Amino acid sequence: MSQTVPPVLSVHPSRSLVDEKLKVLVENLPPGSPVTLHSLHRSEDEHYWEAYGHYVSDHRGIVSVAEDLSVGGTYTGIESMGLLWSMRPVPGSRKGLRLRKMNVRSPMLFNISVYNGLITEGFREQTPLASALIERWYMAPGVQRIDIREKGVRGTLFIPPGPGPFPGLLDMWGGGGGLLEYRSSLLASRGFASFALEYFNSGELESAELEFSYFENAFSIVKDHPQVIPDKIGIFGLSLGSIMTVYLAAESTIVKPLCCVCVSASHFYPPGKNLHGVFEVMTMNSHMIRVDENGHHAWRDMGLEIIKEPSNRINVEKINCPMLLVNGLDDQNWPSVECADEIAQIMSAAGKGDLVTRLHYPDTGHLIEPPFSPHFRATKFKTATGKQKVIMLWGGQTKPHSDAQEDSWRKILSFLQHHLYSRETPKARM
């Protein structure tokens, strides 16, 4: 085999942003040759993730992932990005892993390979016919990353390249806590000055004494930045972050977002309390947490119980800006679809129905992330007590969830573009 014609594997572009599509091409194979395309990634916390698809080369000896059918593997069908979104931990990995890029200044590296035959396992023990390394970035060239420690607020601000000024975003993640920068750096790569806010440490929600003012201060920090246009600021929240988003939009007299994106939203927030109150209510209702046959914790039923209590509801009828509500219909972590239903209903009754846009996706779970990242149906999660890690059930089936991520991201960017970059005077009622 040593001097035979090697196949040629090419991936374009070899360096791309994580929301860009790839073209994976194998040439110079024998015609009608069964091959396996494989992707491998070693995460920052040193776990291995992989995906693979089974293909047969055409009469010219070519396999084009963007155009050809995968007939087996971790994804099937004509899926140009299947080698990324269908990735899962390699056999033998710990349970409940989640893939998240912490250092956004370096790219994620993926090794794409082509193997002879239709293989389903033991990739590491075999020699591929060809392989190529690609880089996937959360940060475009020229994006600035600024550590923020100001007015007691902690986070990282990402500014797009160029002279500016730019519209801004306050970006909040959910109940896992900590500082996740990747969505903000990607949003900055798409033209929005985005502030990734850290509002409690991982697993320390119980001790978080965060007052409402913390979030108002965070919003002001974005607003006051010299490279941000002060009256073009939006808020982006996922899960617990979207609770804060809805609350700020409804209740703040200081913060006036031009628009909001809420992924897997909820509109419950115990009145008058700070964030700690959220934790208290959940603890009170924790007996409603359902543990399934795999030992995974599903909070959905607990959530349904909590939102029954009308005094827990945020007064969403007070919201005066466009809201984009993104939900998965198989969200097992929170009844976010029911929440979105209610939010839409209440705002409609208040004559503000035209401010609400809803995106909901079948067989999609709670963690709706930027496109082409793997789907996590259930992962380890440090609960608010911080003492134990459970495996949290987020929901969703891989293919529909991945489609939802791709579709929603595009629509989220378009929504933000429309409201924050529009040449027309904003329609928001101030």
Q: Which residues are catalytic?
A: 239, 331, 366
> Of the two residues 15 and 95, which places its CB atom closer to other proteins in the complex?
15
Question: Is 322 in contact with 259 (CB distance < 8 Å)?
Answer: yes
CA atoms within 13 Å, Cβ hemisphere of 20: 20
> Which residues are paired to 115 by β-bridges?
36
> Of the two residues 189 and 266, which places its CB atom closer to other proteins in the complex?
189
Which residues make Cβ contacts (< 8 Å) with residue 120, sequence separation at least 6? 52, 72, 73
Give me the count of residues in the chain.
Answer: 430
DSSP 107: -
DSSP 29: P
CA atoms within 13 Å, Cβ hemisphere of 424: 6
- Report, in Å, the least distance between residue 31 CB and other proteins: 12
The contact set with other proteins (CB under 8 A) reads 2-3, 5-6, 8-10, 12-17, 20, 28, 109, 113, 127-128, 130-135, 137, 140-142, 161-163, 165-166, 189, 191, 229, 417, 421-423
> Of the two residues 230 and 271, which places its CB atom closer to other proteins in the complex?
230
- Report, in Å, the least distance between residue 14 CB and other proteins: 5
Which residues make Cβ contacts (< 8 Å) with residue 190, sequence separation at least 6? 19, 160, 413
> Of the two residues 283 and 414, which places its CB atom closer to other proteins in the complex?
414
- Report, in Å, the least distance between residue 45 CB and other proteins: 21
- Report, in Å, the least distance between residue 54 CB and other proteins: 21
Gap between the Cα atoms of 8 and 112, Å rounded: 12
- Report, in Å, the least distance between residue 379 CB and other proteins: 29
List Cβ<8 Å contacts ≥24 apart for 404-407.
Answer: 404/328, 404/361, 404/364, 404/368, 405/85, 405/368, 405/369, 405/370, 405/371, 405/372, 405/373, 405/375, 406/81, 406/85, 406/371, 406/372, 407/359, 407/361
> Of the two residues 14 and 294, which places its CB atom closer to other proteins in the complex?
14
Residue 198 — φ and ψ, nearest 5°? -100, 120
Question: Is 94 in contact with 379 (CB distance < 8 Å)?
Answer: no
> Of the two residues 30 and 152, which places its CB atom closer to other proteins in the complex?
30
